[in-house]
Structure 1
Amino acid sequence: MTQRKQKKNNEKNENQNDLTYEKMLKAHFQKCSKEKEKNKSLNLSERRLVNLPIRAALKSKGVIDWWRMVSDLDLSGNKLDSHSIPTEFQELKSLRSLELHHNNFHEIPRVVLSLDQLRFLGFSNNQLSVIPNDLQKMSQLYGLSLANNKLGSMAPLCRVRTLRWLSLDSNLITQIPRLIKNMKLLECLYLRHNKIRSIPQELNKCKELHELCLSYNQITEIKNGVFVFNSLKILDLSGNPIQSLPQEIQNLKLDFLAIEDCLLTSKPNNLSSLTIIDDQNPYLSLLDLTQCEIDFDPQKVEWKEF
Structure 2
Amino acid sequence: MGNSALKAHLETAQKTGVFQMTGKGLTEFPEDLQKLVNLRTIDLSDNKIETLPQLVERFTILKSLALNHNKLRVLPEELCKLKKLETLHLNSNHLTYLPSNFGQLSALKTLSLSGNQLRAIPTQLCGLRHLDMVDLSKNKIQAVPDAIGELQAIELNLNQNQISQISAHISHCPRLKVLRLEENCLELGMLPPSILSDSQISLLAVEGNLFEIKKLRELDGYDKYMERFTATKKKFV
Query: In structure 1, what is the equivalent of residue 46 of structure 2?
Result: 77
Question: CA separation in 2, counterparts of 1:148 and 1:45?
Answer: 18
Deviation at 1:227, TM superposition (A): 2.5
> TM-score under structure 1 normalisation?
0.67
* Residue 116 (structure 1) aligned with residue 101 (structure 2): no
Deviation at 1:28, TM superposition (A): 4.4
Kept after mapping to 1: 8 A contact 2:119/2:140:
yes
| 1:282 to 1:153, Cα distance in 2 relative to 1, 3 A | closer
| 1:76 to 1:57, Cα distance in 2 relative to 1, 3 A | closer
Structure 2, unaligned runs of 5 or more: none
Q: Which one of the candidate residues 128, 134, 139 is aligned to 1:161?
A: 128
Query: In structure 2, what is the equivalent of residue 172 of structure 1?
Result: 140
The 3-state SS of whatever aligns with 1:111 is helix
Deviation at 1:112, TM superposition (A): 2.0
Deviation at 1:57, TM superposition (A): 5.2
Q: Relative contact order, CA 8 A, sep 6+: which one is greater?
A: 2
Q: Which one of the candidate residues 208, 231, 239 is aligned to 2:175?
A: 208
> Residue 143 of structure 1 aligns to which amino acid in structure 2?
T
> Residue 201 of structure 2 aligns to which amino acid in structure 1?
L
Question: CA separation in 1, counterparts of 2:193 and 2:63?
Answer: 40
> Residue 175 of structure 1 aligns to which amino acid in structure 2?
A
Q: Which one of the candidate residues 12, 17, 23 is aligned to 1:46?
A: 23
Query: In structure 1, what is the equivalent of residue 149 of structure 2?
Result: 181
Kept after mapping to 1: 8 A contact 2:81/2:105:
yes
Identity %: 22
Deviation at 1:26, TM superposition (A): 0.9
Question: CA separation in 1, counterparts of 2:128 and 2:231?
Answer: 33
| 1:202 to 1:146, Cα distance in 2 relative to 1, 3 A | same
* Residue 26 (structure 1) aligned with residue 3 (structure 2): no
Question: CA separation in 2, counterparts of 1:161 and 1:110?
Answer: 16
Query: In structure 1, what is the equivalent of residue 195 of structure 2?
Result: 226
| 1:198 to 1:86, Cα distance in 2 relative to 1, 3 A | closer
Question: CA separation in 1, counterparts of 2:54 and 2:117?
Answer: 26
- Farther off after superposition, 154-163 or 98-107: 154-163
> Residue 174 of structure 1 aligns to which amino acid in structure 2?
Q
Query: In structure 1, what is the equivalent of residue 115 of structure 2?
Result: 148
Kept after mapping to 1: 8 A contact 2:173/2:200:
no
Kept after mapping to 1: 8 A contact 2:195/2:201:
no
* Residue 129 (structure 1) aligned with residue 101 (structure 2): no
Kept after mapping to 1: 8 A contact 2:54/2:79:
no
Across the two proteins, how many residue pairs are aligned to each other?
227
The 3-state SS of whatever aligns with 2:204 is strand
Per-residue Cα deviation, 1:82-124 (whole angstroms, up to 9, x for no partner):
1xx3333322111011111100001112332232321111111
In the TM superposition, 1:91-106 aligns within 5 A as 91-106=58-73
Question: CA separation in 2, counterparts of 1:150 and 1:79?
Answer: 17
Kept after mapping to 2: 8 A contact 1:131/1:154:
no
Kept after mapping to 2: 8 A contact 1:124/1:147:
yes
| 1:181 to 1:230, Cα distance in 2 relative to 1, 3 A | closer
Question: CA separation in 1, counterparts of 2:199 and 2:29?
Answer: 46
> TM-score under structure 2 normalisation?
0.85
Larger Rg, first or second structure (1 or 2): 1
- The CA RMSD over aligned residues, in Å, is 2.4
Query: In structure 2, what is the equivalent of residue 271 of structure 1?
Result: none
Question: CA separation in 2, counterparts of 1:88 and 1:200?
Answer: 39
Deviation at 1:137, TM superposition (A): 1.8
